[in-house]
Every structure is written in C-alpha cells, then in structure tokens.
Amino acid sequence: MGNFNFIETKIKDLYIIEPKVFGDNRGYFMESYNKNDFVAAGLSMEFVQDNESKSKKGVLRGMHFQTKYTQGKLVRVTEGAVYDVAVDLRKGSPTFGMWEGVLLTAENKKQFYVPEGFAHGFLVVSDTATFNYKCTDFYAPEYDSGLLWNDPDVGIEWPLEGIEEILLSEKDKKQKTLKELNIPFEYK
C-alpha cells in the first residue's frame, strides 16, 4: 500500500511499519506518515501531539500508559537504536498480558504503531538514541500510569547483552505488576 509495508504482529491492532526509502548518492527521502496510506491499511487514527526524547545506552523508559485520554503512539528512532515493546492491557483480549518487541534503528527506519490499551516502553541499546513519537491524545499527567518493566508474569525478554546497567526513572522503579493494576481498557 502506497509508501509503507504494514506488518501485522501476533497481537491484533499492533503493527510494525516499514516505510519505503528512496535513496541515492545524495542521501534519502521517505514519508514517515501519510494519512491516506494508513487509512487504506485500516489505521484511521488522528495524531495531536509529537514528542522526542534522547537517551543514553541502558535507559529504559516504560512501560507507560494513560488510564484516561489514552494514547496510541506511532514510534520511530532517528538516531541510534532501541528495543521497543508493547504489552496488551485490553481486558477480554485473547492476547491480554502478551508483549511484542521490535528493534527500531535509524538505519532500518522501522516504525511501531502501539494503539490505545497497551503499555509501551523502550530500552536504548546504542550509545545514544533519539526517539520520536506521534500521539493520538495529549499527555495527561494526572492519568499517567505504568506496568513494571520486569514483571515476571509478562516476561518481556529485554536484550540486555552489552547493557551494564538498566537506568530507570524513580517512577518506573515503582510501577505495578499486571496482577496489581486496575486495568481500565476493554477489548473491542
């Protein structure tokens, strides 16, 4: 479809997106988003906010979500590499509590679409990484929540080779496990 390859994952509504890259000896050009192509693939979200973060190796940001004003996120890396993860938190989903991970790099230019109802996070696996994401709703700090990054019941397999220390925010050190969370999301 258009200038993107939309790859369905084992979890419904979660997509890996590969943009077509046009390059020559001068460099490259690509579309990172095209509403018509996304709608044709069944992704009719509307983005209202763009964010960017820069982090060093070993930084793990996540696993975040908002309990109200939920955010779908289209994420990509423009410098370095991260291992990006989403966990299905939709009650009634056949994949509730399951996770999917993908390596996003400046070189592979892959994107990950994480819809509403998922916890999201990433681990920086390069020396530094610049992470960009488009959101379907605005940040609402009063509804900010999260899932513990190493919840044994979820069992995310983070690529820790070459990572000397996991660097977490104080908030992320204290997130709840899946069993402790009061999940507000329903599977549709």
Active-site residues, by number, are 64, 133
Nearby residues of 114 by Cβ (< 8 Å), 6 or more positions away: 14, 72, 73, 74, 75, 86, 120
Nearby residues of 87 by Cβ (< 8 Å), 6 or more positions away: 63, 97, 98, 99, 118, 119, 120, 147, 154, 156, 178
Assess contact for 148 and 167: CB atoms under 8 A: no
- Return the half-sphere exposure (C-beta side, CA atoms, 13 A cut-off) of residue 147: 29
CA distance 109 to 19: 7
Neighbours of 13 (CB within 10 A): 22
